[in-house]
Chains A and B, each alone.
Chain A
Amino acid sequence: MFLAELLDRTGLDVLDHLDRQVTVPVIDGLQAQGDLIVLPLALLGWLPSRRDWWELPAEGRELVRGEAGNNPHTLVADRGTCRMTTWLGDPERLAIAVFENTAPVWLIHPEHGATGIAPGAWFVRRQRELGAGFRKPVLIAD
């Protein structure tokens, strides 16, 4: 899939300076898009309850927005190929979504472009850094 084609299909956009004539790779493993990381569900160590899963809507779903509120990471997939939940516990308190997909799903971000995630079961975590003083770690919002 070309980036231009993917943007056309989803109605999403990336910054002008990113090359649209590139093939978006589909990765079957760990990958990071800025402050988000996609991990195989097996690493979480447990399965979220099935009753709180829903089908990813046609327009996709924003997983998290950047600091200025205008740089979302959006997950999109062909209809009927991805189910997800945001009801999950994570001992590290960083996970924000779990999904299962039967075809590649795409994670799109204005500054980072797009990346494909191979069929499988995955969860998404945010990134943290140490807080000031002795406070709890804080989440990164790039």
Chain B
Amino acid sequence: MIDDPTADRINREFNVEVRRCAVEHLGWPAYIEQAGLRILSRAPDPGNPGCELRLYDLPAQKWHAPSRLLLAVNGSVERDGTRRRYGLRVPAEFDHPLDAAGWSYGLTGAQYARLQRRT
């Protein structure tokens, strides 16, 4: 699973940590492409200049609560100068990436929009 991840195998995985390791092995952009995820909305990431939050629809899956994927960009640079992307699964009730990002910290989208700095 982790050594040879595919989007399909990842989607069926129940262990969140295994799922995360597998996606990071594959790379978030590759996972999104393989899984054919449809982008619902995008917005500038407050406190993270030049970076964007993207919200993707995740296909409905048996035995899994309806969910969406929020793709964000790390606020700090990696050793090679790039910024890592990371995805978070959020409840399917959110249509706007700010609301989804806010939920991940227990905030509303309007509260999250006041973020001044992200590192």
Which residue of chain A has its CB nearest to the CB of B70? A129
Which residue of chain A has its CB nearest to the CB of B76? A112
Residues of A within 8 A of B119 (CB): 31-34, 109, 112-113, 115
Which residue of chain A has its CB nearest to the CB of B63? A133
| Number of residues on chain B facing chain A (CB within 8 A) | 33
CA distance A142 to B114 in the complex (A): 23
Of B15, B76, B77, B115, the most chain A CB neighbours within 10 A belong to B76
**Known: A25-B117, A113-B119. Is A31-B15 also a contact (CB below 8 A)?**
no
Using a CB–CB cutoff of 8 Å, the interface residues on chain A facing chain B are 15-18, 25, 27, 29-34, 37, 39, 43, 90-92, 94, 109, 111-113, 115, 125, 127-134, 138, 140, 142
Shortest distance between the CB of A91 and any CB in chain B (Å):
8
Shortest distance between the CB of B60 and any CB in chain A (Å):
13
Asked if A18 and B117 sit within 8 Å, CB to CB, the answer is no
Q: Return the CB mask of B69-83 against A: 1 if under 8 Å, else 0.
A: 000001111110000
**Known: A31-B116, A34-B75, A125-B106. Is A132-B111 also a contact (CB below 8 A)?**
no
27 pairs, A vs B, C-beta closer than 8 Å? A15-B79, A17-B77, A17-B78, A18-B76, A18-B77, A27-B117, A30-B47, A30-B116, A32-B75, A33-B118, A37-B105, A37-B115, A43-B111, A94-B105, A111-B76, A112-B76, A112-B119, A115-B117, A127-B88, A128-B105, A128-B106, A130-B65, A130-B88, A132-B15, A132-B16, A133-B64, A134-B65
